[in-house]
């Protein structure tokens, strides 16, 4: 370990810097930007792909969407184990990024309707092919994106030396902003691509392009990461830390069970039963991790609500009017409100709100921030319920009026006028109709219709789907509250997980933090399945109430939590172990250190001499 630390110091001393930051960081940040573009771009259109391309109903689409998201946050554990115990972070990122890119390509291919459209009517004839290929693609994407997630952030952190604490903190903020910059761009672009018409035999909505561009960006992410290869500090795998933790916990439990009789004196903490076999430092580190993991128990409920932006809220937007005058917003584009707000709220919170709260003499601790974040997310779902009631009421009214009456009542409704031409040889006729946003009609063309005359009167129509009258702008308050909640909960939670984790288990706790996201997505599936509420707004209220209860429980748990400084605790244990060591070991270690320092100084001299001769 000592050798590694000295090597790292030496490496960082020699590596190129830009404004005090290692140059390698820029490749990592650009890689994250492209990777998040790829992930969120694909995710933005996923529910609509399920609904309109694979023709699944809302419930199935929502279930598969959340299963996929859950899988994306389960796989970080796998990535952390592979990186720590076998391949190291660098190779894990490379290999899993390849798997990820293949998954994205599979998704793009699965969305080409022409592949199985044998009768060329615009609809796939072998839906099984498209379903299977897209499921394989999603599985590979989940493996790739989740697997690299805990590695990329930690790999970025590894590039900083102990003296670059401030730069490392700034790196994590920039990293979060990059996530949202990439996702913002992609959630604007991929819905536009999806709305295009494309195809070889017949034109259909272009899901293949909407998945193809994220696939290309994943390839770019991989290339950028490889280009930076020579500049990275690549820490060697530290051994299977997860395995050690599990074995140590297992031993503590079994040892406690063996000594359950009253004749054995009890120990302060149940983990102390592992002292008979394991290092005191490892036990202290596991205690720190368990304390934080216990606090994580209520957290999945936040993600349960948070991740419904991409499913229920997008589906809600499909029943709303997206006409903003100059531009028409697609339902899936509404999700861009989240990263836009993140990019503005993070700096505002950090430089205005938090300092102001501090000035007022309030100690706004990380756990208090997270509690407020949960409350705001619950508030967001109350807003979503109110909007849903509005939509339901407007749709109910529509069934009682015909379009002309409806326009008298809602004159502000935006109507699109379209003209159709019927043509047969030289003869043609035109007829025009008004359409509301989101509506659908069937026209009946009489077989006796004589082309060449005015066919406006002869063609009758039936309104299949009523126009949407509730404006999409009404979703903005719910997005505002959920994003303000995210800034308080997620950004603070990431920082909290990092600061409260022992030095060798930062990646483990990152994976634990991401696991709460996975569980949150599973809860959506369970609650939606079990509750089966007839009205969507009641489901929103149910989720808001559940989070409110969890928020109260979490605030009680947080009240009893005492913040720790892992570095200080670890140093204390190392000192104690050092005291126990005999003189011989001490001398040996000092000698080794001296020799290594001399080696490094010699190679330093050679390095600088080399530079001078080159100049
Ligand atoms: C919160 C995630 C677990 C962490 C992070 N996500 C975000 O920062 C989101 N605000 C990004 C986003 C963008 C568009 C639509 C929804 C969410 C991440 O992805 O790492």
Q: How far is the CA of 184 from the centre of ligand 1 (A)?
A: 10
pLDDT digits (tens, 9 = 90+) for 167-183: 877 787 788 889 999 99
Cβ burial, residue 118 (10 Å; 0-12/13-18/19+): exposed
pLDDT at 101: 98
Say if residues 91 and 76 touch (Cβ distance below 8 Å).
Answer: no
Q: How far is the CA of 176 from the centre of ligand 1 (A)?
A: 8
> Which residue puts its alpha carbon closest to atom 19 of ligand 1?
179
Q: Token pair for residue 349?
A: 């919170």
φ and ψ of 255, to 5 deg:
-65, -40
pLDDT at 24: 94
The ligand 1 atom at the shortest distance from the C-alpha of residue 36 is 19
d(CA 306, CA 490): 10
Q: How far is the CA of 179 from the centre of ligand 1 (A)?
A: 7
Cβ burial, residue 275 (10 Å; 0-12/13-18/19+): middle
d(CA 66, CA 167): 36
Contacts of 297 (CB under 8 A, 6+ apart): 557
pLDDT digits (tens, 9 = 90+) for 461-515: 777 777 778 899 999 999 999 999 999 999 888 778 877 888 777 777 888 899 9
pLDDT digits (tens, 9 = 90+) for 24-50: 999 999 999 999 999 999 998 999 999
Residue in the block written with tokens 């000594």: 259
Q: How far is the CA of 611 from the centre of ligand 1 (A)?
A: 44
Q: How far is the CA of 55 from the centre of ligand 1 (A)?
A: 27
Say if residues 509 and 289 touch (Cβ distance below 8 Å).
Answer: yes
- Please provide the size of the chain in residues: 615
Say if residues 309 and 482 touch (Cβ distance below 8 Å).
Answer: yes
d(CA 526, CA 543): 12
CA 595 to the chain's CA centroid: 47
For the chain, the maximum distance between any two Cα atoms, rounded to a whole number of angstroms, is: 109
d(CA 91, CA 66): 29
Beta carbon of 180 within 6 Å of any ligand 1 atom: yes
pLDDT over 80 (residue 153): yes
**Which residue out of 28, 31, 36, 334 has the highest number of ligand 1 atoms within 8 Å of its CB and is therefore the one to mutate?**
36
Complex-level ipTM beyond the 0.95 threshold: yes
**Which residue out of 179, 489, 521 has the highest number of ligand 1 atoms within 8 Å of its CB and is therefore the one to mutate?**
179
pLDDT digits (tens, 9 = 90+) for 95-146: 999 999 999 999 999 999 999 998 888 889 999 999 999 999 999 999 999 9
The ligand 1 atom at the shortest distance from the C-alpha of residue 309 is 16
pLDDT over 70 (residue 272): yes
> Which residue puts its alpha carbon closest to atom 2 of ligand 1?
490
**Which residue out of 39, 490, 516 has the highest number of ligand 1 atoms within 8 Å of its CB and is therefore the one to mutate?**
490
Tell me the Ramachandran region of residue 205: left when phi exceeds 0, alpha when psi lies from -120 to 50, beta otherwise: beta
- pTM equals 0.76
Going along the chain from its start, the domains and CATH numbers come out as 16-239 (1.20.1250.20), 292-384+476-565 (1.20.1250.20), 414-465 (no CATH)
Contacts of 512 (CB under 8 A, 6+ apart): 289, 292, 293, 296, 497
d(CA 160, CA 31): 18
């Amino acid at each position: 370990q000592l050798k590694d630390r000295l090597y790292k110091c030496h490496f960082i001393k020699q590596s190129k810097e830009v404004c005090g930051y290692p140059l390698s960081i820029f490749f990592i940040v650009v890689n994250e930007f492209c990777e998040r573009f790829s992930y969120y771009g694909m995710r933005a259109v996923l529910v609509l792909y399920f609904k309109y391309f694979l023709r699944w109903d809302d419930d199935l689409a929502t279930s598969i969407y959340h299963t996929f998201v859950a899988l994306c946050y389960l796989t970080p554990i796998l990535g952390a184990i592979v990186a720590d115990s076998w391949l190291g972070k660098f190779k894990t990122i490379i290999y899993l990024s390849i798997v990820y890119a293949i998954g994205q390509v599979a998704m793009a291919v699965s969305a080409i309707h022409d592949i199985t459209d044998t009768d060329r009517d615009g609809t796939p004839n072998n839906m099984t092919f498209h379903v299977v290929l897209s499921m394989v693609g999603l599985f590979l994407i989940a493996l790739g994106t989740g697997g690299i997630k805990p590695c990329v952030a930690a790999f970025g952190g590894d590039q900083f030396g102990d003296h670059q604490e401030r730069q490392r903190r700034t790196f994590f903020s920039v990293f979060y902003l990059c996530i949202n910059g990439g996702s913002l761009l992609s959630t604007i672009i991929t819905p536009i691509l999806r709305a295009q018409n494309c195809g070889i035999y017949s034109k259909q909505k272009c899901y293949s392009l909407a998945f193809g561009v994220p696939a290309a960006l994943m390839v770019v992410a991989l290339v950028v990461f490889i280009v930076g290869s020579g500049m990275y500090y690549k820490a060697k795998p530290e051994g299977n830390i997860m395995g050690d933790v599990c074995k140590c916990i297992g031993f503590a439990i079994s040892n406690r069970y063996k000594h359950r009789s009253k004749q054995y004196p009890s120990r302060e903490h149940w983990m102390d039963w592992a002292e008979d076999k394991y290092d005191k430092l490892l036990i202290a580190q596991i205690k720190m991790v368990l304390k934080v993991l216990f606090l994580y128990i209520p957290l999945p409920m936040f993600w349960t609500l948070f991740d419904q932006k991409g499913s229920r809220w997008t589906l809600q937007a499909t029943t709303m009017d997206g006409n903003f005058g100059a531009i028409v917003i697609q339902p899936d584009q509404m999700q861009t409100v989240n990263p836009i707000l993140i990019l503005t709220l993070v700096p505002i919170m950090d430089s205005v709100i938090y300092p102001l709260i501090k000035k007022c003499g309030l100690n706004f601790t990380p756990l208090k921030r997270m509690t407020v974040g949960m409350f705001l997310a619950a508030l967001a779902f109350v807003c979503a319920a109110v909007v849903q009631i509005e939509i339901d009421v407007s749709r109910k009214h529509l069934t009682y009026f015909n379009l002309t009456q409806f326009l008298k009542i809602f004159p502000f409704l935006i109507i699109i006028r379209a003209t159709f031409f019927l043509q047969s040889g030289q003869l043609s006729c035109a007829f025009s109709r008004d359409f509301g946003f989101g509506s659908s009609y069937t026209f009946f063309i009489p077989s006796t219709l004589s082309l060449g005359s005015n066919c406006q009167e002869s063609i009758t129509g039936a309104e299949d789907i009523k126009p949407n009258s509730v404006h999409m702008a009404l979703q903005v308050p719910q997005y505002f509250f959920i994003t303000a909640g995210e800034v308080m909960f997620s950004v603070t939670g990431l920082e909290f997980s990092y600061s409260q984790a022992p030095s060798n288990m930062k990646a483990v706790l990152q994976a634990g933090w991401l696991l709460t996201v996975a569980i949150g997505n599973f809860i959506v599936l369970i609650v939606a399945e079990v509750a089966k509420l007839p009205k969507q707004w009641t489901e929103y209220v149910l989720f808001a109430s559940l989070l409110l209860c969890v928020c109260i429980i979490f605030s009680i748990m947080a009240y009893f939590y005492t913040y720790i400084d892992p570095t200080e605790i670890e140093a204390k244990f190392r000192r104690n172990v050092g005291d126990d060591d005999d003189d011989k070991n001490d001398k040996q270690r000092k000698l080794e250190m001296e020799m290594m320092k001399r080696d490094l100084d010699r190679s330093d001299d050679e390095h600088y001499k080399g530079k001078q001769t080159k100049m």
